[in-house]
Structure 1
Amino acid sequence: MSLQRRSVVLSDPKRRNALSLATLRSPKRHSSRSRKPRSEGHDADPDPPGPHHRVVNGLATAAGCQLVASCDIAVASDKSSFAMPGVNIGLFCSTPGVALGRVVLRKVALEVLFTGEPVSAREALLHGLLSRVVPEDETTQMAKKVASPDQPVLSLGKAALYRQLARDLRTACHLTSQMMVDNLGLPDAQEGVKAFLQKRKPVWSH
């Protein structure tokens, strides 16, 4: 299995980082440190095969907030905030609300959607929208950390976790047991076991 990670950094502050096709195809890799909203657009891939990370430093609104809610790991600076402000212009954030309603409690999601008011990074962490909050000056370092190359084992593990969530306990255990057997067939797993037995650091294939 060959995997390649793509790091997408939104860098169009004049248009408030709307997720147009042009923005997504842009080769830019460094974002402006403007305090403008990080994203207000759409067209995000809801289920990429490998680990899906987001690092936020600013205001993420509407589908920008949807991107955060849809990813596997979300880190934000302590200066960040999140909002679903569509109701303020008479356009309810129905599509962005799909992801939000699946990661936070229903009453929390409805408050965010009904009021359009932003919530702080600390509140977002408390309610399960974020994995971690870091000081603003650590966001660049964190972005580099989460952009490290994928391992096939991470994609397999992610698939196992998400697939078993909707199953009953017995079916989930059977499914994940089979996934572990598949995992043992990966070159990296064989290298990892061999390195452990030989008391050395593994040399990954990716």
Structure 2
Amino acid sequence: MLQANQAQIMLQLQDNMNAKVNPEWLTTRSPFLRAVVIEGAEAIEHHGWKWWKKQDCDLEQLQMELVDIWHFVLSELLLQSDGEHAPAQAYIFENIEQSTVQFDGKQWQFSQLNLLEKLELLIGLAAAKRTSIGLFSALLVDCKMSWLDLYQQYVSKNVLNFFRQDNGYKQGTYRKVWDGREDNEHLVELMANLDASALSFQDDLYQALHQRYGQSK
């Protein structure tokens, strides 16, 4: 189950990243749920949906899409709470065990939906400017992820994005390949040696990236 400190950290990291992209992001009010629609459709593609041809589910890519979706869900929750973290966090925990949602005149029971149907419902809700933490939680289960897995992958991607920006990504001076491997490969390796449940996880990971990047060729 998601821990309060993990939710707090993710909300703060998302706030920081949004502010790095646009310091006025709260007043700009970008359509974050529109991004959920697009990411949800990409998740369907990674799962495979074409009944007229053989397709294999790419679970790893599907999990990555859920991490991306969570970025935009957090952003929307922060918008709805005018940037205040406490109510956004409270909303998450008040709804995390939700098992149904009323939508389009129908009561949808998550346990009765398969993965593709859950993704379609996610997209429909997002298009109607709504979120469902319970539905997202059910999607994690279908994609063989725990909330700790999501936390670890979310924080790791956030840390890498910040690291890239801090080392000249926008200016074109950042080296994405170190010692013959892309930075995300180094990221996965470094993650495996750290405690994802530690409060200092994001700082520890950033420092590990910094040290290895500095020593790389």
More helix by percentage:
2
TM-score of the superposed pair, with normalisation by structure 1: 0.27
TM-score of the superposed pair, with normalisation by structure 2: 0.26
Name the larger-Rg structure: 1
More strand by percentage:
1
